[in-house]
């Protein structure tokens, strides 16, 4: 469960990014976070893995108040989260396979088990067979799928994606969202930030709408 209570974030320059946000996302839920660019979507997402800390309120993830988490405990919080970034952050000096192996090396998995998991993750995003390729050889949609494979290889209970379909054609974007939905179906909590309202409307899922750092709408999924 992810639970925000009265969360504010003011950047050192005095710029106020979030004001008094309160909401919860239940285990196994899939929610979209929408709003114009600059509405505070990225800031909100960064509070969950403690990339940024709130200046007020509390952010509770899996029973821990992330806002008060010690520096040394942060890596262990992040290992239980799958993060997909807007700019993907792939390592271009190593193969597709090694990109997916990195989280497993970090969490110290035994090689055979790690190899199995990496192949399973690549299989889920349809990149099995491209393991030896360099990320540069992949299309934009494939790179995003690789980023997803890397995010899920540790089998996190929460998956967070920031604009995963930005810069993708409609077909690739739909494929990416299908992948997130399939992970949600097996019980993973998913939170996706996007400014693509049209895409969001296609799914009957909860939508949190941000405007100027405030939660202006929290629409429950329409009946399906």
Rounded-to-integer distance, Cα 153 and Cα 133, Å: 18
Stretch that binds other proteins, among 60-68, 82-90, 130-138, 174-182 (CB under 8 A): 82-90
Number of chain positions touching other proteins (CB under 8 A)? 22
Determine the Cα–Cα distance for residues 222 and 207; give it in Å rounded to an integer.
10
Per CB under 8 A, contacts with other proteins among 59-78 are 72, 75-78
- Closest separation in Å from C-beta 100 to other proteins: 11
89 part of the interface to other proteins, by CB under 8 A: yes
Q: Of residues 110, 136, 198, 223, which one binds other proteins by CB under 8 A? A: 110
CA end-to-end distance (rounded Å), the chain: 23
Map the footprint of other proteins across residues 126-185, applying CB under 8 A: 150, 154
What gap in Å lies between CA 129 and CA 19, rounded to an integer?
46
Run of H or E including 190:
strand 189-193
Give every CB contact of residue 50 below 8 A, 6+ residues apart in sequence: 66, 69, 74, 77, 78
**Contact (CB, 8 A) for 2 and 61:** yes
106 interacts with other proteins by CB under 8 A: yes
Q: Is 38 in the site for other proteins (CB under 8 A)?
A: no
* Cβ-based neighbour number of residue 25 at 10 Å: 21
Least Å from the CB of residue 89 to other proteins: 5
Q: Is 37 in the site for other proteins (CB under 8 A)?
A: no
- Footprint of other proteins (CB under 8 A): 49, 51, 72, 75-79, 83, 85, 89, 91, 102-103, 105-108, 110-111, 150, 154
């Amino acid at each position: 469960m992810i639970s925000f209570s009265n969360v504010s974030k003011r950047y050192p320059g005095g710029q106020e990014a979030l004001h008094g946000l309160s909401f919860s996302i239940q285990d196994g839920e899939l929610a979209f976070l929408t709003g114009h660019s600059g509405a505070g979507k990225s800031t909100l997402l960064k509070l969950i893995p403690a990339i940024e800390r709130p200046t007020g309120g509390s952010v509770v993830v899996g029973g821990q108040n992330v806002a008060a988490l010690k520096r040394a405990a942060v890596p262990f919080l992040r290992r239980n989260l799958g993060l997909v970034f807007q700019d993907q952050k792939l390592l271009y000096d190593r193969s597709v396979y090694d990109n997916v192996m990195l989280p497993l090396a970090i969490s110290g998995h035994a090689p055979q088990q790690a190899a199995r998991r990496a192949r399973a993750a690549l299989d889920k995003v349809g990149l099995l067979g491209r393991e030896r390729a360099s990320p540069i050889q992949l299309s934009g949609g494939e790179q995003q799928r690789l980023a997803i494979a890397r995010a899920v290889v540790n089998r996190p209970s929460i998956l967070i994606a920031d604009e995963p379909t930005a810069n993708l054609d409609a077909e690739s974007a739909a494929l990416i969202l299908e992948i997130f939905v399939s992970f949600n179906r097996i019980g993973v909590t998913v939170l996706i930030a996007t400014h693509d309202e049209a895409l969001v409307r296609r799914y009957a899922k909860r939508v949190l709408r941000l405007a100027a750092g405030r939660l202006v709408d929290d629409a429950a999924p329409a009946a399906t």
